[in-house]
Amino acid sequence: MPYATQLSLQEATGPTMEEVTFLHDHVLMLTCLMSLVILFFSSTAMLSSITHNDPTEEVEQLEAAWTTAPIVILILTALPSVRSLYLMEEVFDPYTTIKATGHQWYWNYEYTDNTHVSFDSYMIQTQDLQKGSPRLLEVDHRMTMPASLQTRIIVTAEDVLHSWTVPSLGVKIDAIPGRLNQLPLSTSRTGVFYGQCSEICGTNHSFMPIVIEAVPLSFFEQWLTTKQ
């Protein structure tokens, strides 16, 4: 859960978000390093007595440096970015598959692996919240998944564009009518993770939260049995 004065990303609770955090820190480090180098050379140029009579060799070396440096920086940025992109989209032998369908304005979850579990997930109104529950984020039926195991999420929409987003897990996938998008999802620990629709989909766009509850495998199998 984010807090009021938070300036950084949410704490990573899964491998996908760990990749996003690593990439963010990597690019930020390169940006700070470039800023310091540019500041140093700018200050040196303003404080030194550089004239237009510098030798041609030095000018050529300078042009080579400011041409090569951006290429190196782009490579250092692109390689981890492409690696993270492919790791985030690759589905490796998922333990279970869950289909999330966006509606105006709620989510429907369907467990498609030899089960008949399907339910709607509506936001709980403020007056009905239990003590300690987050306002505008809690739902009546949470999406339950096994912790530390990969789950395949298939996302679509019934009416308009939605977006299934859980920041602490590094997940953001568009829900498009008539199209199925899939994404791997896994958590490094048990817990409850909150998200929201991040695509403006109508007047109640802000009132269709996403709540994922990651539980141990034995509890998940028992939960599936009771839901059938």
Structure-model confidence comparison of residues 3 and 26, the more confident one: 26
Distance, in Å, from the CA atom of 225 to the CA atom of 71, rounded to the nearest integer, reads: 56
Beta strands in 4-150 (DSSP E): 96-103, 106-111, 117-121, 143-146
| Average pLDDT over every residue of 24-46 | 85
* Longest Cα–Cα distance in the chain: 84
Q: For residue 186, which of 42, 29, 12, 52 has the smallest C-alpha distance?
A: 12
| Average pLDDT over every residue of 182-204 | 90
How many CB atoms neighbour CB 45 within 10 A?
9
The pTM of this model reads 0.78
Summarize pLDDT for 43-79 with one digit per residue, the tens. Answer: 877 776 555 555 545 567 777 777 888 888 888 888 8
Summarize pLDDT for 146-169 with one digit per residue, the tens. Answer: 998 889 999 999 999 999 999 888
Cβ 107 vs Cβ 100: under 8 Å? yes
Q: Which residue has the tokens 């390689």?
A: 79
* pLDDT score of 121: 94
What three-state secondary structure class fits 174? strand
